[in-house]
């Protein structure tokens, strides 16, 4: 069965960590897919407002906040913010344990205090976060729907962080930090919503990923591809491991499977 849609993780897959743009061969591959009528979808843990614009590339759909917000041509197909009580509990836990944290709403990200770990996180994905004082202003911010949190704690401490939270989960994509998302939510949720929207089957979908937060996305498609720089868990879950993000892994796999003509 021919591939009709391809899902791409961003950091470590489309773009190398710390880089603002994909490699030229990757950009060419994206344009060729679009020219062939194959739909292309960005699937990322980033908020929608920090997904960069790549010249000449139009995403048919987007999965952002690790699946908590799914859109197609600006139409919301699915959204699932984190439970407000969990946000309040996580905020208080981070203050008590002196753990850096930031929260992302639909239009902006904010943190209650500055920490070098947050700056490192922002630099990796070329993001910006406003730091505001603990207290009333920050509580007003987290009173709005919050789709994702980032905590400067490795995912190995997941049980400790989630203790007392009723409907949140924690996924890792970087060694020193992790994302907090609604429980049961994932990039895989987003893939299923988009396939349903377009009327495509799992077998008509392909996906590229490198981090453990890509596992559910890769499981939701018929042709899952691991980047050469992927974690072992991702490689084990995929049909094929391509070259790394820095050596044109995406174009290589698309050619290998005959998706690019």
Cβ atoms within 10 Å of 210's Cβ, excluding its own = 26
Tens of pLDDT along 201-244?
Answer: 999 999 999 999 999 999 999 999 999 999 999 999 999 999 99
Examine the pLDDT at 135 and tell me if it is beyond 60. no
pTM: 0.86
What pairing do the DSSP bridges indicate for beta strands 205-209 and 168-174? Answer: unpaired
**Domains, the chain:** 5-80+185-256 (3.40.50.1000), 84-182 (3.30.1240.10)
> In 3-state terms, the chain is what percent helix, strand and coil (to 5)?
35, 25, 40
Rg (CA), the chain: 18
Query: For residue 174, what pLDDT is reported?
Result: 73
């Amino acid at each position: 069965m021919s591939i009709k849609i391809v899902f791409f993780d961003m950091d470590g897959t489309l773009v190398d960590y710390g880089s603002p743009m994909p490699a030229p061969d990757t950009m060419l591959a994206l344009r060729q897919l679009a020219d062939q009528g194959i739909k292309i979808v960005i699937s990322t843990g980033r908020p929608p407002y920090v997904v960069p614009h790549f010249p000449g590339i139009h995403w048919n759909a987007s999965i952002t906040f690790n699946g908590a917000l799914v859109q197609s041509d600006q139409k919301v197909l699915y959204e699932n913010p984190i439970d407000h009580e969990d946000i309040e509990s996580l905020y208080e836990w981070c203050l008590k344990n002196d753990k850096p944290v930031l929260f992302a709403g639909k239009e902006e990200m904010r943190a209650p205090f500055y920490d070098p770990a947050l700056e490192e996180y922002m630099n990796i994905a070329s993001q910006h976060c406003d730091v505001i004082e603990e207290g009333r202003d920050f509580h007003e911010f987290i009173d709005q729907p919050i789709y994702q949190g980032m905590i400067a704690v490795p995912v190995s401490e997941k049980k400790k962080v989630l203790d007392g939270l009723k409907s949140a989960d924690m996924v890792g994509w970087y060694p020193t930090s992790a994302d907090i998302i609604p429980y049961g939510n994932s990039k895989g949720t987003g893939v299923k919503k988009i396939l349903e929207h377009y009327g495509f089957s799992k077998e008509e979908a392909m996906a590229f990923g490198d981090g453990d937060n890509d596992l559910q996305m890769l499981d939701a498609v018929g042709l899952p591809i691991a980047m050469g720089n992927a974690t072992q868990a991702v490689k084990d879950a995929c049909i094929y491991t391509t070259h790394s993000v820095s050596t044109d892994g995406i174009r290589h796999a698309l050619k290998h499977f005959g998706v690019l003509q």
